A and B are shown apart, each in its own frame.
Chain A
Amino acid sequence: MPTDSSIPNQRVAVTGMGIVSALGIDEDSVWSQLLEGKSGIDQLQSLDTSKLKVSIGAEVPPGLLEDALKTLGRRSVDRALDMAVVASAQALLQAKLISGDGPFDDKDVSVILGTGTGSAQSYNQAYNILFEKGSHNLRPTTVPRCMYNAISAGISLQFRLTGANYVIVSACTSATNAIGTAFRMIRHGYADRVLCGGADGFFDPFSFGAWNNIGALSRIEDPKKACRPFAEDRQGTVLGEGAGAIVLEAYDKAIDRGAAIRAEILGYGESSDAAHITKPSSKGQAKAMQQALKDACIDPSEIALINAHGTATPGNDSCESESIRRIFGHHADRIPVVANKSYFGHTLGASGALETIASVKMIENRKAPPNLNLENPDPACDLNLVKSEPISIDIGPIMKNSFGFGGGNGVLIINPSKV
């Protein structure tokens, strides 16, 4: 954290949240399913998986997204952008930065979103044209559809957000990096309001086929049992599509305009493993956690809960457990640890946003949802893992971890709202 007194150091509030996920597209129904231990993972419906190793994933229930787009006067353009638009509308409405369904006036709000696979659906469509008809027949709008910043650009255009507008691409850390960047922009006075989060939609033949062949996906056939974070018998992760949007705002300015403050971002840390393109490093993860705690000016003992990255891959969960132990020592005996990917699936570049939203719900309700499929915790994951029932949690900050292929690590500290 900068110590120069000339650099602003504003508090940063969460004033709006929006979610599109396999558990639904409104936060209350998502939260109730989290508490009930209902997984959004099922047999995939939107693509032919007959020749693939894996046929399960967490898809947004059919019709929900299409209806929500219609309300906004939009048709489907690209899966990730569509989900981001719907989540953003919810977040901006909740923050009272827009009213109704448009048209909208210009607003000085930045939009910083994360994505792992970008406009994957549009790329897949373009590849089909390329191979069937040749490069001279590509659509005139292939570039604006496929560019990675199509997501943030589309949000800026839809809601007329005139602040900064860009996308952060860092695999599964993308959304957490985006939220962290937004947090720093506001804390240090570069922006007053930022719509941040992430979106990823990759249930297309190219993206899902590629993920099938990397060996990181669970081969367990029962969709409800397939994703098993921190379990000894975990086999891999399960992919999910989704988007999460969060309005961050300068705390004092939110108070001045009468906005409801749902939580506060206290700190952010980031690092790179610089060790292996896909294998995580405890050293790198611990560094990001340490930085986040230092940035938030809190001691490890003050953390009320850790919302883990928890992918359910053999490599991640034991490595993350080791990282937590490095930083928290004996406090890790007490601090509850949850993982949300057995509910949402691994939504890659959106996961940090969905799981931050879930973390805010945990703070507000002082409860943590159960860890699914944790009948046999892995002895290598020596943590206070929440079992099969929801638990009450202390009032206090939550640490949200995200780690990605490429070695990027991002960690947020989210605090209850306190005036």
Chain B
Amino acid sequence: MTDTSKQETILGQLRGILEESSSVEPDWDSFCPQSTIESLGLDSLTILDLLYDIEEDIGIHLEAKEVLNVSTVGEIIDMLVAKGA
């Protein structure tokens, strides 16, 4: 799988997770790697639920301290790719 298609696959998985667990209703049509964490309604607490769901659905464990400083979805995708997703 190319890096681009891998990233697109993970983006789709993240969208699926967020559609189930986010407490807000973002504009999914514009959901992309540049989407900000803030626009998805995630804060320092609810991002922990995202990590929980990533581990459940994608099988990769990310530490909260790794993720708390990221600002976009693309940065999370990069971390997942780096960990073997």
Which residues in A have some Cβ–Cβ distance to B below 8 Å?
A: 69-70, 73-75, 77, 139-141, 144
Residues of B within 8 A of A77 (CB): 23
Nearest chain-A residue to B48 (Cβ)?
A140
Check A141–B45 contact: CB distance below 8 A. Answer: yes
Cβ < 8 Å to A, chain B residues 29-62: 45-46, 48-49, 51-52
Complex CA distance for A75 and B42, rounded to whole angstroms:
13
Residues of B within 8 A of A144 (CB): 45
Complex CA distance for A155 and B9, rounded to whole angstroms:
36
Does B85 touch A at the CB level, under 8 Å? Answer: no
Check B24–A139 contact: CB distance below 8 A. Answer: no
Residues of B within 8 A of A75 (CB): 22-25
Can you report 14 residue pairs joining A to B where beta carbons are below 8 Å apart? Answer: A69-B25, A70-B25, A73-B24, A74-B23, A74-B24, A74-B25, A75-B22, A75-B24, A140-B45, A140-B48, A140-B49, A141-B45, A141-B46, A144-B45
**4 nearest A-B pairs in the assembled complex, by CB-CB distance:** A140-B48, A141-B49, A77-B23, A73-B25
Complex CA distance for A73 and B41, rounded to whole angstroms:
10
Residues of B within 8 A of A69 (CB): 25
Complex CA distance for A141 and B51, rounded to whole angstroms:
11
Q: Which secondary structure dominates chain A's binding surface?
A: loop
Which residues in B have some Cβ–Cβ distance to A below 8 Å?
A: 22-25, 45-46, 48-49, 51-52
Residues of B within 8 A of A140 (CB): 45, 48-49, 51-52
Check A139–B49 contact: CB distance below 8 A. Answer: yes
Closest CB of chain B to A68's CB: distance in Å? Answer: 12
Residues of A within 8 A of B23 (CB): 74-75, 77
Residues of A within 8 A of B45 (CB): 140-141, 144
Residues of B within 8 A of A139 (CB): 49, 52
Complex CA distance for A69 and B24, rounded to whole angstroms:
9
Nearest chain-B residue to A78 (Cβ)?
B23
Residues of A within 8 A of B52 (CB): 139-140
Nearest chain-B residue to A133 (Cβ)?
B56
Closest CB of chain B to A138's CB: distance in Å? Answer: 9
Complex CA distance for A288 and B27, rounded to whole angstroms:
51
Residues of A within 8 A of B46 (CB): 141
Complex CA distance for A85 and B45, rounded to whole angstroms:
20
Residues of B within 8 A of A74 (CB): 23-25
Complex CA distance for A74 and B25, rounded to whole angstroms:
5
Closest CB of chain B to A179's CB: distance in Å? Answer: 27
Closest CB of chain A to B56's CB: distance in Å? Answer: 9
Closest CB of chain B to A110's CB: distance in Å? Answer: 23
Nearest chain-A residue to B22 (Cβ)?
A75
Partner of B48, one of A70, A73, A141: A141
Complex CA distance for A70 and B23, rounded to whole angstroms:
10
Closest CB of chain B to A3's CB: distance in Å? Answer: 47
Most chain A beta carbons < 10 A, residue from B22, B24, B51, B52: B52
Closest CB of chain B to A200's CB: distance in Å? Answer: 20
Residues of A within 8 A of B51 (CB): 140
Complex CA distance for A77 and B52, rounded to whole angstroms:
16
Residues of A within 8 A of B25 (CB): 69-70, 73-75
Known: A74-B25, A140-B48, A141-B48. 8 other contacts (CB 8 A): A69-B25, A70-B25, A73-B24, A74-B23, A139-B52, A140-B45, A140-B52, A144-B45
Complex CA distance for A69 and B25, rounded to whole angstroms:
9
Closest CB of chain B to A71's CB: distance in Å? Answer: 9
Complex CA distance for A70 and B51, rounded to whole angstroms:
25
Complex CA distance for A33 and B51, rounded to whole angstroms:
46
Most chain A beta carbons < 10 A, residue from B22, B23, B51: B23
Closest CB of chain B to A150's CB: distance in Å? Answer: 12
Complex CA distance for A144 and B49, rounded to whole angstroms:
12
Nearest chain-B residue to A69 (Cβ)?
B25
Complex CA distance for A296 and B82, rounded to whole angstroms:
69
Complex CA distance for A273 and B67, rounded to whole angstroms:
53
Complex CA distance for A237 and B43, rounded to whole angstroms:
42
Nearest chain-B residue to A145 (Cβ)?
B49
Closest CB of chain A to B47's CB: distance in Å? Answer: 9
Complex CA distance for A144 and B46, rounded to whole angstroms:
10
Residues of B within 8 A of A141 (CB): 45-46, 48-49
